[in-house]
Amino acid sequence: MFFPIVCLVYYLLPGIKGRTIFLLLASYYFYMCWEPVYALLLLTSTLITYISALCMDRSRSRRWRKISLFSGIFINLGILFFYKYYEFAGSLITNFFSLLNIGIEIPRWNVLLPVGISFYIFQAVGYAVDVYRGTIKAEKNFVVYALFISFFRSWSPVLSNELKICFLSLEKNISFRMRILMQDLD
């Protein structure tokens, strides 16, 4: 029911700015339904790559562009590693040391895996790499970029390129076509 309601409200709202903000809020609501605090994780990843991309876009120094790229990638992959692989790596290290009769135990955190973390981390990293390569310019509008990263619809297994292009073009008053938004409802 969530998706059809969002589509309806989206088309009832006047103006592209209001629609963009509404979709961003709906996306964060969708994400927060699993664990509200993880919206901060999504926001952190979004802010890191947004700032990293702006730094790369504005800098003429190849060295500074590389530093911006690799810091954004390192922080984002660090977040992914912690939430997705920390428990596994910790148990491997603990087991390795126990084989050597060394009593080191990596503490367990038992954290819930955030919904969509791999998707939005790799989406953000891919965006940063594209900005670094000059394939695309850094998005100046934070709301548009945040929607590109967080849009709940794009967490389905297949995201059409046409839908991605629509999102990257929101600020140019290109609205969504109902058939694109409804393509997975068949």
Cα dihedral 56, 171, 177, 162 in deg (nearest 10): -20
Task: Locate 18 and state its tokens.
Answer: 């209001």
Residue 164 to residue 183: CA distance in whole angstroms? 14
Crossing angle of helices 2-12/16-32, nearest 10°? 160
pLDDT tens by residue, the chain, 186 residues = 777 788 888 888 888 888 889 999 998 998 888 888 889 999 999 999 999 999 999 998 999 999 999 999 999 999 999 888 888 888 888 888 888 888 887 777 777 777 788 888 998 999 999 999 999 899 999 999 999 898 865 544 444 444 444 445 543 443 344 344 444 444
Helix axis angle, 117-133 relative to 38-58, nearest 10°?
10
pTM of the model as a whole: 0.75
Determine the pLDDT at residue 170: 46
151: DSSP letter: -
Task: Say if residues 32 and 118 touch (Cβ distance below 8 Å).
Answer: no
Residues 6+ apart with CB under 8 A from 145: 46, 50, 53, 127, 139
Position 119 scores a pLDDT of: 86
CB of 170 closer than 8 Å to CB of 147: yes
Per-residue pLDDT, 47: 97
Which segments of the chain does DSSP mark as H helices, in order? 2-12, 16-32, 38-58, 62-80, 86-99, 117-133, 142-150, 161-168, 178-181
